Amino acid sequence: MNLELKLIDGSEFTVRALEFKRIELGSKPTGTPQATLAFDTTAQPIFHKNFDLVSSSFTDYLERGYTLYICTDSEKQAKRLRDIFEERGDHITFIPVNKTLHEGFTDNALKSCFFTDHQIFDRFHKYNLRSDKARSGKVALTLKELSQFEPGDFVVHIDHGVGRFGGLVRIPNGNTTQEVIKLTYQNEDVVFVSIHSLHKISKYKGKEGETPRLNKLGTGAWEK
């Protein structure tokens, strides 16, 4: 069989692809969509382990007819959460799911909350990184651990690679200011990271005495 006869060029592929329906995720379609699906979702609230806030929020959802699903890494975590509610005297019912998400959310159309225990307990979801250097430095970073960082410490960001920690700074955000983490890369290029994205940062852990090379932004080297 001559496989070359089965090959088509890009122009023919484009023409044939028009015969199929496609679904694009995002807010900027490449063409004129025949239909638009809108998702009425909101992000999981930030609780910072404040169980008075957790209880009042969960109670409000239940009174409005929402179903609560709590995603955990283990059944032990779901039991821990139940025990906390029982000790507090909170009458909160939820359905445990022994699988977790990166971030929880509420689907207002389905009237369902899909929340994660690691956000309730102020922990951060771990990434599995392919880079050996990044994997060796992988931790579930917390605000407490972040406060122990010193300016100049080497850190790894999952999207940008190895940089230097530049401390917490405040930058304008509309009519207010936002606290962010400053990371510095080659050529003194700077990246500001929201404190809600701590899961993307880990302290660099390489061989003792070895100084890592800072990554250069925009080159694609880290991604490769």
Task: Provide the pLDDT for residue 207.
Answer: 66
CB 70 within 8 A of CB 43: no
User: What is the CATH number that goes with domain 132-203?
Assistant: 2.40.10.170
Dump the DSSP string for 117-141.
HHHHTT--PPP--SSHHHHHT----
Residues 6+ apart with CB under 8 A from 136: 205, 206
Per-residue pLDDT of the chain (224 residues; tens, 9 = 90+): 566 677 887 778 777 777 788 787 777 776 778 888 888 999 998 888 899 999 999 999 999 999 999 999 888 889 999 999 999 999 999 999 998 888 899 999 999 999 999 889 877 555 444 444 444 444 446 667 777 888 888 988 888 889 999 988 888 877 777 888 899 998 899 998 887 777 788 888 776 667 888 998 888 778 77
One-letter amino acid of 105: F
Paired residues of 156 in beta bridges: 162, 202
Instruction: Give the neighbor-by-neighbor strand order of the sheet with 190-194.
Output: 190-194, 176-184, 161-173, 154-157, 201-203
Task: Provide the pLDDT for residue 2.
Answer: 66
Record the pTM.
0.49
Looking at the chain, the domain(s) classified CATH 2.40.10.170 span 132-203
